[in-house]
Amino acid sequence: MKNLILIYSGGLDTSVCIPLLREEYGYDQLITVTVDMGQPRADIQQAEEKARALGTEHYTVDARREFAADYVFAAIRANGDYEGYPLSTAIGRPLIATCAARVAERLGVTAFAHGSTGKGNDQFRIEFTLRALVPEPTIIAPMRERNLTRREEVEYALAKGVPVAATAEKIWSIDENLWGRSIEGGRLEEPDYSPPEEIFQWTLPPDRCPDRPREVTVGFQNGVPVSLDGEPLEPLPLIQAAHRIAGENGVGRIDIIEDRMLGLKVRENYECPAAVLLLTAHRALEALVLTRDELAFKRLVDQKWGELAYAGLWLDPLKQALEAFIARTQERVEGEVRLRLYRGSCQVIGRHSGWALYSEALSSFDDKTFDQRETTGAVKTHGLQAQMLQALRARR
Amino acid sequence: MKNLILIYSGGLDTSVCIPLLREEYGYDQLITVTVDMGQPRADIQQAEEKARALGTEHYTVDARREFAADYVFAAIRANGDYEGYPLSTAIGRPLIATCAARVAERLGVTAFAHGSTGKGNDQFRIEFTLRALVPEPTIIAPMRERNLTRREEVEYALAKGVPVAATAEKIWSIDENLWGRSIEGGRLEEPDYSPPEEIFQWTLPPDRCPDRPREVTVGFQNGVPVSLDGEPLEPLPLIQAAHRIAGENGVGRIDIIEDRMLGLKVRENYECPAAVLLLTAHRALEALVLTRDELAFKRLVDQKWGELAYAGLWLDPLKQALEAFIARTQERVEGEVRLRLYRGSCQVIGRHSGWALYSEALSSFDDKTFDQRETTGAVKTHGLQAQMLQALRARR
Amino acid sequence: MKNLILIYSGGLDTSVCIPLLREEYGYDQLITVTVDMGQPRADIQQAEEKARALGTEHYTVDARREFAADYVFAAIRANGDYEGYPLSTAIGRPLIATCAARVAERLGVTAFAHGSTGKGNDQFRIEFTLRALVPEPTIIAPMRERNLTRREEVEYALAKGVPVAATAEKIWSIDENLWGRSIEGGRLEEPDYSPPEEIFQWTLPPDRCPDRPREVTVGFQNGVPVSLDGEPLEPLPLIQAAHRIAGENGVGRIDIIEDRMLGLKVRENYECPAAVLLLTAHRALEALVLTRDELAFKRLVDQKWGELAYAGLWLDPLKQALEAFIARTQERVEGEVRLRLYRGSCQVIGRHSGWALYSEALSSFDDKTFDQRETTGAVKTHGLQAQMLQALRARR
Amino acid sequence: MKNLILIYSGGLDTSVCIPLLREEYGYDQLITVTVDMGQPRADIQQAEEKARALGTEHYTVDARREFAADYVFAAIRANGDYEGYPLSTAIGRPLIATCAARVAERLGVTAFAHGSTGKGNDQFRIEFTLRALVPEPTIIAPMRERNLTRREEVEYALAKGVPVAATAEKIWSIDENLWGRSIEGGRLEEPDYSPPEEIFQWTLPPDRCPDRPREVTVGFQNGVPVSLDGEPLEPLPLIQAAHRIAGENGVGRIDIIEDRMLGLKVRENYECPAAVLLLTAHRALEALVLTRDELAFKRLVDQKWGELAYAGLWLDPLKQALEAFIARTQERVEGEVRLRLYRGSCQVIGRHSGWALYSEALSSFDDKTFDQRETTGAVKTHGLQAQMLQALRARR
């Protein structure tokens, strides 16, 4: 008897894996694990129903609180970004694999399967996490290993009694968790095709947003948001509330060209209302409390963090060292940021902090202590070596 | 007879310098130079009139074309930014000093004065440029050297017959050129004071913008914009048109905390409609044509370029080396970007280029040539050293 | 009739490829190309003889001058280094592949084979170059594709009449070109095994070196060496002379742990006498003529250049952009450096340049122009934000 | 009654400060503080005697253990380096200022003086530390403020009865602590003047070193050395022993061009035997235990750490954040490194660690698990975007 844990979304790819794993790989005892990261309730239920229909032992894991507190909040502290993408799916994959590894340990299973293809990023993120957490795991990626085209996949599904959704729905390929939503596929892959309004579900179109600006205040402690408009909130409800407020005002649409891990450029559309709101606020607060040198160097740290998070290297020791740097800086990222949301735009309009490196008490330095004449020397030696060089050049 | 060139804006600070330079420094022959960088026509005229009234030999230099083509366009290629500020005043100062140095050379003058105080950035930018261009110049900064307070300055002006503008106007301290407008002073210096609508002159308030989105297409060649909506334009009129289009749709307001060169944090408000529009378009096109590694490394190059430009080190050899890097990458930054402007927001909605590293011809690679199974090895070795480390940790 | 170009060293791996390509891949018309990069004359001859014996159409390409002038000298300008390794083999592979592609174009061949295994770096370097230069090439890597063990390989060779060298010689696996020599294999792979004296051929053991220090002067122009001890030399003879001088004084042994491209750490021993001498001199001259900021940023550029060169991405656009940066800085890397070599050590003892940012003329600045009192302001504002932060902390 | 703490070395500059502070600044109650950082015993005693002769209240603080454990060891973990300089004096100044601040707090004094001139780095290092530790201190730098020439200084000293050392000794200006020794002045300032043997005191000339190589084993835990040749040692005696061993074998001489903080290039000679030995060992161990990505990013961190340490910004929050990064990586820097010292050269010949990312157990991966054929895909996609670009170029 061979058992195996299939990371299961309920979609076509992972559903097709079920007969494949049974018939082509000989796994007769399949365990499906669906991880709730904030995708629509209906998707979770669909996964549960399909699993029942296809006869697997099924587990749904509610990882929303952990995702919010440990993954999304880590991303906020790092201003989590990769080429303009707030890393929503990217930071979700390691937690999904971690949840699968936990179920596996509990059940004594060491074989895993996932539905990722051989072209995308998710195979890297999921398999790395499994290999890092499970000693010598068996990992199967049937979609990649069978090299199936979409058409072959649908035919196989129909032949094996796997439910296939009506085609209409499947124009777009969508992935959602509470930090963001990606929409791919069809003509959207063309870099010059304007995204049609229908692809957006979380953000109102700017011309249908409320006519009055919405001001919102985000409170931070230790680098993470802890309140909205003065109301203290736990991580999960805070993200959900930020999502709602931003989405209602058309904030959060992202349209970029992104470099996949294998080197292919793809055009991506995202809806990330909570991310745009909270990251904008976080950056504004950092600008108030961190020194110029901290800000400049943290940009390098954040850029590298974003690359590692995109690659799914959540457990990489470099990421841990970067986070030690980040944690030290975030001790002072405390205070409030006020933003104005209006029909798709999101503007910072004020910020304050007990750790502001601007303050009335200190700015007195500016007026009383500061004798302007003392700057003369600094001005004279500014760019001294470049001045010397110009003198050498002039002499030639 | 001692002559000297005063870099002259026509404002209070530089006007007060005129009697100061005569009476306290003994310069009896003053030459005032006003450089037209796109500030309001009225400012230029005011400078000319005051210079006549105060009896200086006056020159107005129209540097708008040079500023647009050689300074603003260099900034676009470098995605010119310092902590969120598009560097408008910062890149203007070196050209103003250069124009002054040119007049000086023509007239055989080697002494200069400017009206900058000892707290700000402009003294660094102006004096460095003069020292780099003029052999052993004499440079006088009367405001800094006299350490005058505002009140003392006004009293001195009144005593010497220097025209002082009505106080009402002077709540805000404003600097303008064709790449941007900065508004400082009064309560605006408080980081948590919401900027009042009255400070904005170049951008419509989002709620009074046109009700329909404005789509605009920016064409690029060699890393710089060459057309708007398909119409070829020279640098100066292109920037002016971009200014108008963005401003009419409320795009271009920037509210940041900025680290001055001496280390003081200040709250700054900017209006940079052309900059926001053109830089957004430029970045989007780079994402399409540059490789992932070029994009990542160019971020470092651009960050350093922004620091040097902010510091006024326009003639620094490091800046020249960075620009050699940039120039090489910009050869392929050619194509068009489509954006949608609406009530303060500015979204990219499409882009195309003959140098796109995405293309139908090449993506056939994706479908035909690419055997998904071949990715297996890359997935297994992804994060290999981190995997090894996890194994070592597990053994402890 | 199927023809193919085999990149041929004359060693066992590439010789075994000959019958393999004929029998298993069906290539009946084999063309072998051996590229002379400065490896021992005997190796070239052995390749020619074996090719004759095995019946291939053979070409030997003398690429030594091109390698010296275009590859080694590019490495010198970039202070070419990867984790302590002067990149000798790494920068040779792209040229070998380029030479093969040139022969291919001349003969109208589009299929290639090489002898690299699937564990090392060379497969990446060679295949990338071929793919970049030849439209849709066929590339075969028989060693990798057959996954042969060493034993299997030897058996196959004996069965097919491929000459196999006496085992004694083959304790160490050696690769040589005029920029360096690598020695691997056997117990040398153990990180803690002291390298035995016998592995070194190019450097005298320190205790058998001449008893008197050897002073040597290296002259540079435009970032590359142009003379030794005052005698002008072309790139190739200059490298050869530097090789001799350094080797005679025991200079050039390198013992490191290196991260291979696939993520395996390996212990490597190198002998690179010319590289150690010339790179030491180049760095010393840069320190004299480049500004502090240029030096600091060029370190990042050089580090990235080293990573790309190690990966064999000689034709990568990022490398070209980095080289544009480097070229701009090297214009002033002109002058002479004096070094003292003695029993394994290599010390700079003097340097001068017309572009020195140190000079008597300019240091008069130090004594006359410079009023020490003017530094006061710069000292007070040094670390201003950190001072503010300490004040905030004290108040808590 | 005005009291003040003078940071006192016993040399001419600080001795001249005593009458200056009394007569020109009106401080009648002077407290001198000499900090023992490992300089020669005689220097400490001379300071004590001169202080007695000049009638100050004197304190000698033995800071050697603290310097070794908290400053030197922090530098080792960061591979502490600035342009080739192991930062010996640079990291000593903040501790000297800290010791002075501690004495000040104990005695209730808030005024300080130091003997640094206005051209060098020490004024920045000392004053920043005092300003960061003492609320609103008074800081006097008489040498800088009086802008004295050397000749004026000596005349003043003779007039005031301050002992002036015989001129012969004063050809060179020397600074020493247990991490290094700097020698400046006279013809040594000429970049092309070969350093004469007489300036070296801590390292034997290579031709008078022992004729047999000295092998030495350095043991590390948590990123710092804890044993020599297997013998556990506390930080201070370990540094002293390393100093002796390296110095006896001619290891530790450094000759560089260095960029001072104000932008002047200076030629510097250092003797740092312990630093060269221990830093070489530390780097070799990091190469064995840190991942490739950790090594590459830590280079940036170390470079920035070196810049901050050189600038004396020991208490800067960015330095603290960098050290949090470093600390995380150093947890695994544990093991032993073997080096061979011989007549001025210092070669690593072996290393081992329980955290090695190379190990027999894991390299079995290399042989058994690893199917070479699986690398094919990674090789094909290596430099994919550069391949695409070449294809686009070929088509033009």
Q: Give the CB-side neighbour count of residue A2, counting CA atoms within 13 A.
A: 13
Contact A362 C292 (CB under 8 A): no
Residue A106 one-letter amino acid: R
* Chain C residues lying within 8 Å of B322, measured CB to CB: 297, 325
Mutate to test the interface with A, among D290, D293, D374 (most CBs of A within 10 A): D293
Probe site for chain B from C318, C332, C369 (most B CB atoms < 10 A) = C318
Q: What are the tens digits of pLDDT across the range A95-111? A: 999 999 999 999 999 99
Contacts 24+ apart (CB under 8 A), D146-154: D146/D20, D146/D24, D147/C371, D147/C372, D147/C373, D147/D118, D148/D16, D153/D12, D153/D13, D153/D16, D154/D12
**Shortest Cα distance, chain D CAs vs residue A293, angstroms:** 7
Query: What gap in Å lies between CA A196 and CA A202, rounded to an integer?
Result: 14
Chains touching B, CB cut-off 8 Å, 3+ pairs: A, C, D
Q: Report CB contact under 8 Å: B291, D376.
A: no
B366 pLDDT exceeds 50? Answer: no
Between A50 and B186, the more confident residue is A50
- Model pLDDT for residues D296-323, shown as the tens digit of each residue: 999 999 999 999 999 999 999 999 999 9
Q: Say how far apart CA B133 and CA B101 lie, in whole Å.
A: 7
* Cα–Cα dist A162/D78, whole Å: 58
Instruction: Using CA coordinates, name the residue in chain D closest to A313.
Output: D293
In the structure, what pLDDT confidence band is assigned to residue D369 with cuts at 50, 70 and 90? Answer: low
Q: Could you give the residue numbers annotated as active site of D?
A: 13, 93, 122, 173
D255 to chain C, closest Cα gap in Å? 7
C-alpha C127/C-alpha B369 separation (Å) is 16
Residues of B belonging to the active site: 13, 93, 122, 173
Residues of A belonging to the active site: 13, 93, 122, 173
Q: Would you list which residues of chain C are within 8 Å, Cβ to Cβ, of chain B?
A: 259, 262-265, 290-291, 293-294, 297-298, 300-301, 304, 308, 316-318, 320-322, 324-329, 332, 381, 383-385
Domains, chain A, in order of start with CATH, read: 3-169 (3.40.50.620), 175-352 (3.90.1260.10), 360-395 (no CATH)
Is C343 catalytic? The answer is no
Which of A266, A297, A364, A389 would you mutate first to test chain D, the one with the most D CBs within 10 A?
A297
Q: Give every CB contact of residue A253 below 8 A, 6+ residues apart in sequence.
A: A195, A200, A203, A269, A270, A271, A344, B347
A291: left (phi over 0), alpha (psi -120 to 50) or beta: beta
Encode pLDDT of A382-392 as tens digits: 999 999 999 88
DSSP state of B368: I
HSE-CB for B219 with a 13 A CA cutoff: 10
Query: Per the structure block, which two tokens stand in for D170?
Result: 């004063």
- Active-site pick, C36, C122, C175, C302: C122
Q: By C-alpha distance, which of C312, C334, C266 is closest to C92?
A: C312
Alpha-carbon torsion A148, A150, A155, A157, what sign? positive
C222: β partners: none
B373 to chain D: which residues are within 8 Å by CB? 377
- How far apart, in whole angstroms, are the C-alpha atoms of residue A47 and residue A50? 5
pLDDT digits (tens, 9 = 90+) for B97-110: 999 999 999 999 99
Among the listed residues D164, D148, D69, the one whose alpha carbon sits nearest the alpha carbon of residue D115: D148
Which pLDDT score, from 0 to 100, does residue C313 have?
97
With a cut of 80, say whether residue D295 has pLDDT above it. Answer: yes
Q: How far is CA A138 from CA A6, C366, D362, in A?
A: 12, 70, 18
- Among A148-152, A218-222, C19-23, the minimum mean pLDDT is found in A148-152
Q: Which of C344, C373, C380 sits opposite D118 (nearest CB)?
A: C373
**pLDDT in single tens digits along all 396 residues of chain C:** 799 999 999 998 899 999 999 999 999 999 999 999 999 999 999 999 999 999 999 999 999 999 999 999 999 999 999 999 999 999 999 999 999 999 999 999 999 999 998 889 999 999 999 999 999 999 999 999 988 777 888 889 999 988 887 554 467 889 999 999 999 988 999 999 999 999 999 999 999 999 999 999 999 999 999 999 999 999 999 999 999 999 999 999 999 999 999 999 999 999 999 999 999 999 999 999 999 999 999 999 999 999 999 999 999 999 999 999 999 999 999 999 999 999 999 999 999 999 999 866 555 444 546 788 888 889 988 999 999 999 889 887
A-B CB pairs within 8 A amount to 255
Q: Which residue on chain A is closest to D384 by alpha carbon?
A: A263
Q: How far is D30 from chain C (nearest CA, A)?
A: 23
Chain C, nearest residue to A290 by Cα: C385
